[in-house]
Structures are given as C-alpha cells and as structure tokens.
Amino acid sequence: MSDERKLPYVMAFNEAVSQAMEADPSVFCAGEDIGAFGGVFGTFGGLQAKFGADRVVDTPISEQAIVGLGVGAAATGLRPIVDLMFMDFICVAMDQIVNQAAKLKYMFGGEATLPLTITTAGGGGLSAAAQHSQSLEAILCHIPGLKVVYPSTPYDMKGLMTACISEDNPTVMVKHKRLLGMTGHVPAERYEIPLGKANIVRAGKDVTVVAYGRMVHESVAAAEKLAAEGIECEVIDPRTLQPLDTETIVESAKRTNRVLVVHEAVRFGGLGAEIAAQIQEQAFDYLDAPVGRIGAPFSPVPFSPALEQHYIPDAKAIEAGIREALLRVGA
C-alpha cells in the first residue's frame, strides 16, 4: 500500500530499542561510541539524548569488557543491549560469549536467567577489508545456549529485535551493513516476531532456495528473473539461525524436491552444510537431486572493490546454482 509507513533498516533497529527502553526501565545499552555519536553506523542515534548517559553508555575499547558487563548486568536483573561494532570483533570476546553468557543458565541448573542481547554488524560489500567484513554466524550457531538472529528487512529487524530484548536467554542480533539503508514497511506500534520461525518470502513449486540476510534479496532477484522462463522458486528466509526452523525448510523441500542454500559466509563449514544435512536426514526420499550450496570462497574477504564483488555471491551466481539444481538428478 502506498500509505504504508516506511523506515530504513537502521531506524527500525533504533525504534525497537527505543520502544523497549520506554516500556522497561531495566533495558539499557552499552558499547563503543554509541552515546553522543550514536554508533559507527548510527544505529543508536539519538538514544543517549533521549534516555541519558546512564542508560546509553559509552564504553572503553574492550569487547571482552563490554560483553562481561552485559553478562553481569543480565544475571543481576537488568536487560542489557551490548554492541560490538563489527562482527569480526566477537573473536575478542569469545570467552565471555561462549564460556560465560552461553553457559551461565546451564551452570546454575536453570535457576539463573540471562536476558542479554548482543548486537553487531556483519557481512561485506563496503570494502572494509578482511578484519571488518566477515560473516561468522556459523561459529555462534554452534554454541549451545545462544540464539542467533539475522533479519533481512526493516520489518523483520524491528520485530526480531523486540523479541531479542524480551528473550530471557542470550541472543546475538546480526545487522547486515549493506542493508542499513534499505527502506521498507515498519508499523509504528511495538511488535514481536517469534524467534525460531522462518518466513516464506516467495512461494514456488520447482526449487527451494534457503537464504538469510542480504542473500535473501539476491535470491529473490534471481527467482524473479527465472519466473519469466516459467521456473518458480520458493525463497525461505530462516530469520533466526539458532534455533533454526527446520520444519518449514523440510516441508518446502518435500514440495519442490530440489534445494539450494545460499549464504554470504565462507561455503566450507557454513550453515548451508548444516541445513543440507538436516534436509537429507528428514526428506531424503523426496529429493530429486543433491542439496546445492552457494557461499563465499575459502579466503579472507578482499579489500579491493572488484575482488570483493566477485567474492560475495550475487543474483547471477544464485541463478546459475538454481539452474544446476534443476538439471542435476539424484545418484
């Protein structure tokens, strides 16, 4: 509808945080430069002016301390949102994320709650080079105790971020840097999208494409081009990567009999391998061909814009993958 309220992806995040802070005084934010500066990508813009420096806290440059602050605050009754500027920097805080945040509830026999939301910016496409462009979500999804969320639209961003803040377990919200300026329909009221529920972005009967983050849009572009030839692709966005909505993906695979999984992360050891394994375990007899995978090559993300463009999968590569899936037959 032409009168739908539209917001950029970045402001959908900001509005979710603002509304959560208005509704619950236990919600606060902490991170590098998120105060007066509003964060390196402007995601926290205006929040310190609105809520004060006690609830929107600028921290030292220490990712381990930032997450440690969040773990302690969450364990003692607050609902912290802690920001790590780039996804690459989770590596600096892995002890706090993996051995503290993810384990605390288990270590206390379920008696403790840890309503901690870690936000970070992932993905490439800005020529930010190898230390500021990685997609490390598969590492996080491997850790029991963490929930990992990766919205592809402004609508999903607001609803999923609201759900993350309400969650009594640690969540990691990944914002894709190339989607921050994307504009879409976002209702003004506060709403939640349940964690662990996939979205069928485009219905189709010939092949299932599973993609998340920016790759959803590249997959839809490929699907629309193929539709002109009578090839109908079903595009599924998991939205939450951990827990994964395997049921929706498997049911789609049973309908279309062919599947392609797409992600921007390195192909080897990526989530595509896990999704493919779950499909073959639960829907092997329905498949007319092996599950295909598209991901980045086994290399650091290049700085050169031309090389980076070649490195990151796009609609053209996805289209080729879909055609291959349609041509292949089972062994």
Residue 290 maps to which CATH number?
3.40.50.920
Q: How much is the average pLDDT of 7-36?
A: 98
Q: How much is the average pLDDT of 40-60?
A: 97
pLDDT score for 82: 98
pLDDT score for 3: 67
pLDDT score for 75: 96
Q: How far apart are CA 74 and CA 170, in angstroms?
A: 9
pLDDT score for 10: 98
Last residue of a domain, one of 139, 157, 185: 185
Q: How far apart are CA 11 and CA 272, in angstroms?
A: 30
In the set 132, 176, 217, 263, the catalytic residue is 132
Q: How much is the average pLDDT of 284-307?
A: 97
- Examine the domain organization and report whether 244 and 174 are in the same domain: no
pLDDT score for 327: 87
Candidates 144, 149, 197, 202; CA nearest to 176 is: 149
- Examine the domain organization and report whether 57 and 104 are in the same domain: yes
- Examine the domain organization and report whether 117 and 68 are in the same domain: yes
Angle at 90 between CA 74 and CA 216, to 5 degrees: 100
- Which CATH number does the domain housing residue 121 bear? 3.40.50.970
Whether residue 331 has pLDDT greater than 90: no
Q: Among 106-115, 193-202, 292-301, where is mean pLDDT lowest? A: 106-115
- Residue burial 90-129, b: 16+ Cβ < 10 Å; e: rest: bebbeebbbebbbbbbeeeeeeebbbbbbbbbbbbbebbe
pLDDT score for 330: 54
SS3 118: strand
Give the largest CA-CA distance in the chain: 63
Structural domain boundaries, residue 286: 199-327
Does 132 participate in catalysis according to the annotation? yes
**Domain presence at residue 192:** no
Question: pTM for the full model?
Answer: 0.96
pLDDT score for 2: 53
**Count of domains observed in the chain:** 2
